[in-house]
Amino acid sequence: MTRIFGSGTFPRSRHSLIAAVIGAAVIAGGTLLIFLPTIGFLAGATASTAGLIPFPAVSVTLVALTGGVVVVALLLAAAAQRRPAAAWALVVLAMVVSLLVTAFPVIAVVVGSAERVGDVGPVIGELVRRVGGSL
């Protein structure tokens, strides 16, 4: 079923529009229920450990903004499709991009923490020395 929206020159399927709206709702839910709490947890862990767990805020922000632009572009492309199957394929691709953007902060913190493993030993030794000296 094809409808003509707007000025009458841009035909698209109502099913494609429904696919794009469903995709946007699922991605918005994932952002609110997974991405934002993950960012809060990782930033809190960084703050509570005085920087021993690194949080790459700049790279996370750039990846989130770039991923957001890509997701919006994919959803708009899905809404503009004439064939619902192509629209659903673009929606699924937008969901995959959204999941990759959600996973990036965790991966970045794990990689940064692995690089700082050598820094943990001296910090623990200093803490033991301070506690042992005060007893």
Give 54-69 pLDDT, tens digit per residue. Answer: 889 999 999 999 999 9
- Please say if the pLDDT value at position 118 is more than 60: yes
Instruction: Give the number of domains in the chain.
Output: 1
CA distances from 27 to 65, 68, 134 (A): 14, 10, 53
- Please say if the pLDDT value at position 135 is more than 90: no
In which domain, by residue range, is 15 found? 2-134
Question: Tell me, what DSSP letter sits at residue 1?
Answer: -
Task: Read off the pTM.
Answer: 0.77
